[in-house]
Amino acid sequence: MRNTWLIIKREYLQRVRTRSFLVLTLLLPAIMTVLMALPAKLASIGVKAQHIVIVTSNAQFGETVRQQLLSTPVTDDDDESGEQTKTKPQDEYTIDVDANATDAEQTALREKVSNRTIDGFLWLPDDFLTTHKVDWNSRDLIGSRERSWLSTGINHIALQQQLSKAGMTSAQTDPILTPIKVEPVRIEGGKEAKGSGTGRFLEIFVMVMLLYMAVLFYGISVMRSVLEEKNSRIMEVLLSSATSTELMTGKLLGVGAVGLTQILVWTIMAGVIALPSMAMQPNLSDLQISPIVMIAFAAFFLLGYLLYSTMYAAIGAITTTEQEGQQIQFLIVIPLVLSVFMLMPVIRTPDSAAVMWMSLIPFFAPILMYARIVVQTPPLWQIAVCLVLMVATVAGLTVLCARIYRIGVLIYGKRATLPEIMKWLKYAKT
């Protein structure tokens, strides 16, 4: 145990004291913030409100349509979360009314569109209630959000006109035309579960990103550390005073502690930067992370890191160059990639048989079981079985990889073959 602690301390301090660690730890959050904010900033530079014209033979009716469009929010759907973001039309459009609905005026407006004097015009003929058709003229193809905005506003006006012809007043038509909003409510354990779809999606997304970073950055760091000591013959000296299991365990925990330190700093910085803005967002202000989700995050993150980093250490032991290690490591990343592809089925049907069995497999569990817990907590026996299988797999891989490590780190200039690795597993003693 003493040797393992000394190796953990050496691996940790050796990396934390480097300039690259300090620069990456402090600058990466700033770089990520800039990269996330830059596209929106660039998209807003030089963007002005679109100038559109409503053409109808009745100026009063045209003004009614104009007011309705200005009161109809422009809606964006947020993919899988089901949440919606809305912007005011006044921020994006300048709307005028043209009561000269003649062929000559239509030709003149088309010329203005071509000359970029206006961005588009909406042609409302007198019989549009009968034909159920209006024309939108612009230089560019109309987008889905713009089409939805125009259709919602015009349909509201059309229904209002038809109800008015039937003898109903505005006070009677307004409640009828007010849209009904469907609020999704998630039931868990017979009770209403708090938290929005956006919040649950963010919890899953953050876990996936952190696990990827831990595996790719720190798993590769473990592999490189083994290769460096192997090629410099330092390993021969280390093995004279510590066992292969102590060396590998010390490296895994030492490099893992570096990763956890870095992630902790990033989390604190992200919280300081993001929490004020999250409180102002209606979709994120109700974000509440339950204790079981926090415990699951820590457990599956640590077990996932140990699971994959152990295999990275074995790769470093059986290869002689970093290039060889990079060629083999895709075998380790495949389960992570498959887990990401399975996220959408997990979010939609977390209780399906296929999702349940895949989430119990240790190599998929760090992402899939955690996602199931976030979306809809599975039975406790499934979580317990999953954790037991992961712990057993980590322990078994540690023993097997330690045997590979014991002999592999002393093999120089020769690429290990599968039959040789099987012999190492059989004869090596740790």
What is the per-residue pLDDT across 9-41, written as a single tens digit (0 to 9) for each?
888 888 888 887 777 777 777 776 777 667 666
Confidence of residue 254 (pLDDT cuts 50, 70, 90): confident
Confidence of residue 416 (pLDDT cuts 50, 70, 90): low
Is the predicted pLDDT of residue 281 greater than 60, yes or no?
no
Just give the CATH number of 49-182: 3.40.190.10
**Burial of residue 362, with CB atoms counted within 10 A of its CB: 0-12 exposed, 13-18 middle, 19 or more buried:** buried
Q: pLDDT tens for residues 301-351? A: 888 888 888 888 778 777 777 777 777 777 888 888 888 888 888 888 888
Cα angle 52, 57, 59 (rounded to 5 degrees) comes to 70
Output 101 or 229, whichever has higher pLDDT.
101
Q: pLDDT tens for residues 339-375? A: 888 888 888 888 888 888 998 999 888 888 888 888 8
Strand order in the sheet with 135-138: 93-98, 50-55, 120-123, 135-138
CATH 3.40.190.10 residue spans of the chain? 49-182
Confidence of residue 167 (pLDDT cuts 50, 70, 90): confident
- From CA 91, how far away is CA 67, in angstroms rounded? 14
Output 194 or 165, whichever has higher pLDDT.
165
R_g (Cα) of the chain, nearest Å: 31
Three-state SS at 361: coil
- From CA 266, how far away is CA 264, in angstroms rounded? 5
Output phi, psi for 360, to 5 deg: -85, -15
Q: Which of the residue ranges 46-55, 117-126, 262-271 has the most confident prediction, judged by mean pLDDT?
A: 117-126
Residue 123's identity, in one-letter code, is W
Residue 80 to residues 84, 196, 367, Cα–Cα distance (Å): 11, 12, 18
- Give the CA-trace dihedral at 381, 382, 388, 394, to 10 degrees: -170
CB neighbours of 352 closer than 8 A, spacing ≥ 6?
345
Output 121 or 168, whichever has higher pLDDT.
121
Residue 371 to residues 202, 283, 342, Cα–Cα distance (Å): 11, 20, 10
